[in-house]
Amino acid sequence: MAVCTGCSLLCDDIEVTLESGRIARTKNLCRKGLGRFRSLYSERASPRADGSEVDVGDAISRAAEILSGAKRPLLFGWSNSTLEAQQAGIALARKLGGVIDDTSSFCQGPLMELVIRGQMPTGTLDDVRNFGDTLIYWGSDPTSSHPRHMSRFSYFPRGEKLQKGFEEDRTAFAVDVRESPTAKIVADGYFQIPPGGDAEFIEAILSVLDGKMPKVQDKKRMISFVTTLKKAKMGFIFPGLGLVYSLKDRLDLFSQLVARLNEGVPFRVIPMVGHYNMRGFNQTLFEQTGGINQVSFADGEARRGQENGIISALDSCDAALVVGSDPVSSLPAAFARKLAKIPVVVMDPHRNLTADLARVVIPTALSGLEAGGAALRMDGVRVELAPVVEGASPSDAEVLARIREVV
Amino acid sequence: MVGAMEIYQLTPKINCKKCGLPTCMAFAVALLAKEKNIEDCTPLLEPKYEAKLKKLREVMAPLASASETGLIIHDEKCYGCGNCVVACPVNVANDPRGSAIGLGPKSDKVILMVEDGVVKCLNPKECRRFGPNRIMCNLCTSTCPSKAIEFV
Amino acid sequence: MAELSVLVVTFRDIFQSEAQEAGRYGEEYRKASALILLDRGDADRAGIKDGSAVTVASDAGSVVVNAGVDQESHPGVAFMPNSPWSNQLVSGQVGPSKIPEFKRIEARLSSASGPVLKIEELLLGIVQG
Ligand code: SF4
Ligand code: SF4
Ligand code: SF4
Ligand code: SF4
């Protein structure tokens, strides 16, 4: 059995058939996961420094030179690396007196912070499968982003207390701007909201909970929705980027809703983390520094602050190490442009836009396929990864350790 | 999905009865029901109907791959999400430790499973839509996000 | 075509994710990414045909992508797969949360000012801009 690192579900029931060392057939991988497995054989990165092909050793030395020469290096990425690589990355940031941040900074970070700090009731996906009878996919579309979420854990499987499965035992809702594939599956449970309409939707639920008339068009439907929520034996909310981006600074409104629901029945929250080990990075950094992301080690002391988040740090950092991430693709062009202006070192299994403009590229093993380690699933459950095939490149953890030796 | 009318348009439309049926329309219906093969219409094999024959083979191709239960899989639409695998009552009954609880199948008695990112149909005869006690089960199609499974 | 104002919301699509894994430089990824999905009524009113190229412009920038017409109705709202193409439109201004506005972009659609750029060309624009 292999583990898929295509998303933060880390499906561990993947069967792989090898033919002369190459993956020939797979079972149980979804289309997205299959894409990850096949990426073994496409667009692999090759070592480069200052515009020329070099060997990995030279690329590592050049990387170390750039990073130790920087006053305030930014170490970014991490959500596509193993826990071991994340540890090594934090150690390197500490030694360099640099800034460390991950993709959660402009993604699920604000919500994940509440979960990790214990300020938001949460549970595991196994709890969802066994006990979750009332589900809300909120601003998330697992069918597209975490394709096996509904079949492995949340909606379709039979559970300990839910032997009849979805037909009778579970009720699912989707709250979304877009009638996504998930919204189509839950059919009558879909609530369409306008862009940015999440706060109003929360207020409407709170009104009903207070025994007041909700300020929405279809009052009857809203009341019956809230009645269902109040009858849950164990409810789960799966918030996606849709909710986080819409609420932004008003996330407390969501906390308030969860707290209110919990006065009556247990309602848990599992954020729909995208990359396979974002949760792992947030948790590891939190344990070591008290911050889940956006930490600076300048003057030998760990300090958390927004100025260390990639969005702000791009104005103050004078070099960057990017690991397993492609911020030039995923950031708004204005920020990608700032990154293009400083020397960048990229560690990645694949060629990407950030690698294309980097000073140094160090190819690395694809974790879970060419290198082992461990990772935390979106719900915090630890999953061990073992290599499936032999690769030519060192793992992230190995490269980071070698850089740390020489800086 | 193709209908009898569309198939009829692709027959010679000469009602010669060589296929053993009274009309080309009847042949079209029989073709759709898989009671006849394209080759049973011998005139269609004549050079002058070459274009029609080619088109007919094209539209019939997905039907040809349909299992005896009439289940067709459109690979290119499938997410490989496994919803159908986990929802299928036969999978659940035959594979309590695998698909019933959301995992990949652990039994070879399942009807549906996901291979190379796409759903596959293994034991079509087990399907509840098949056989003397058949029922109109539609759990695999109603749980699919993309209409990748279809019955004809 | 007539100008059309929409609120652009980015989203994720499994076929695009699959194409991205296969390679960011591939034609598949470009096809699955350089896309804006419109409400049928909006598209009809503006005279935009399914599959035609359009220029989408926001205060932050502009980009040429192919238009698609959705089955589902969502007047005034358009959906773009999250990608370097949609990121041309996202503002560099951020509020106190420091999270860019990826899912609520005011944009105007007009006739395509050129071809849909390849990803290498987008990158060049970023580096030179
Ligand atoms: S759901 Fe996620 S982890 Fe599971 S197979 Fe698909 S991509 Fe991989
Ligand atoms: S043999 Fe062909 S042409 Fe003749 S009746 Fe049958 S379908 Fe029509
Ligand atoms: S029709 Fe029912 S029994 Fe047949 S494959 Fe689909 S879900 Fe299974
Ligand atoms: S056929 Fe539909 S439900 Fe089954 S795996 Fe494919 S997309 Fe999912």
Domain CATH code at residue C87: 2.40.40.20
Give the long-range contacts of residues A202-208, CB within 8 A, separation 24 or more: A202/A253, A202/A254, A202/A256, A202/A257, A203/A253, A205/A229, A205/A257, A206/A256, A206/A257, A206/A260
For the record, the structure tokens of C16 come out as 């695009």
Look up residue C117 and give its DSSP letter.
Answer: P
Interface test with A, best of C62, C103, C117, C128 (most A CBs within 10 A): C103
List pLDDT tens digits, range B39-65. Answer: 999 999 999 999 999 999 888 876 666
- The tally of domains found in chain A comes to 2
R_g over Cα of chain C: 14
Give the domain extent around C38.
Answer: 4-128
- Are both A232 and A337 inside the same structural domain? no
Residues A4 and A385: their CA atoms lie apart, in Å, by: 9
Domain CATH code at residue A300: 3.40.50.740
Say yes or no for a CB contact (<8 Å) between B103 and A152.
yes
Query: What is the Cα A97 distance to its own chain's centre?
Result: 26
List pLDDT tens digits, range C3-26. Answer: 899 999 999 999 999 999 999 999
Q: What residue owns the CA closest to ligand 3's atom 6?
A: B140
Residue numbers in A near C90 (CB within 8 A): 332-334
Q: What is the pLDDT of residue A77?
A: 97
Give the domain extent around A246.
Answer: 109-269
- Are both A241 and A286 inside the same structural domain? no
List pLDDT tens digits, range C60-73. Answer: 999 999 999 999 99
Q: Which of A250, A335, A281 is nearest to A85 (CA)?
A: A281
Q: What is the Å distance from ligand 1's center to A6 Cα?
A: 5
Minimum-distance ligand 1 atom for the alpha carbon of A9: 3
Q: Is A324 left (phi over 0), alpha (psi -120 to 50) or beta?
A: left
Q: Which pTM does this prediction carry?
A: 0.90
- Are both B90 and B44 inside the same structural domain? no
- Are both A172 and A259 inside the same structural domain? yes
Q: What residue owns the CA closest to ligand 2's atom 7?
A: B24
E strands in A193-266: 235-239
Does residue A82 belong to any structural domain of this protein?
Answer: yes
- The tally of domains found in chain B comes to 2
Q: Residues A406, A69: contact at Cβ < 8 Å?
A: no
- Are both A325 and A340 inside the same structural domain? yes
Look up residue B10 and give its DSSP letter.
Answer: T
Q: Which ligand is nearest to the CA of B7?
A: 2
- The tally of domains found in chain C comes to 1
Q: What is the ipTM metric for this complex?
A: 0.93
Does residue A198 belong to any structural domain of this protein?
Answer: yes
Does residue A24 belong to any structural domain of this protein?
Answer: no
- Are both B60 and B75 inside the same structural domain? no
R_g over Cα of chain A: 22
Residues A162 and A172: their CA atoms lie apart, in Å, by: 14
Of B17, B48, B65, which closes a domain?
B65
Minimum-distance ligand 3 atom for the alpha carbon of B88: 7
How far is the alpha carbon of A207 from chain C, nearest alpha carbon, in Å?
26
Look up residue C49 and give its DSSP letter.
Answer: P
For the record, the structure tokens of B133 come out as 């006690």
Query: pLDDT 10s digit of each residue in chain B, 152 long?
Result: 577 888 999 999 999 999 999 999 999 988 887 788 899 999 999 999 999 999 998 888 766 666 667 788 999 999 999 999 999 999 999 999 999 999 999 999 999 999 999 999 998 888 988 877 788 899 999 999 999 998 87
* Strands A360-363, A344-348: pairing kind: parallel
Q: Which of A43, A332, A337 sits opposite C100 (nearest CB)?
A: A332
Domain CATH code at residue B16: 1.10.15.40
User: Within 13 Å of residue C28, how many CA atoms lie on the same side as its CB?
Assistant: 13
Block mean pLDDT (10 aa), chain A, length 407:
96 96 95 96 95 96 97 97 98 97 92 96 97 96 97 93 82 96 95 95 96 91 96 96 91 97 97 96 97 95 94 95 96 94 97 96 96 97 96 96 95
Q: Over B30-91, what HEC string results?
A: HHHCCCCCHHHCHHHHCHHHHHHHHHHHHHHHHHHHCCCCCEEECHHHCCCCCHHHHHCHHH
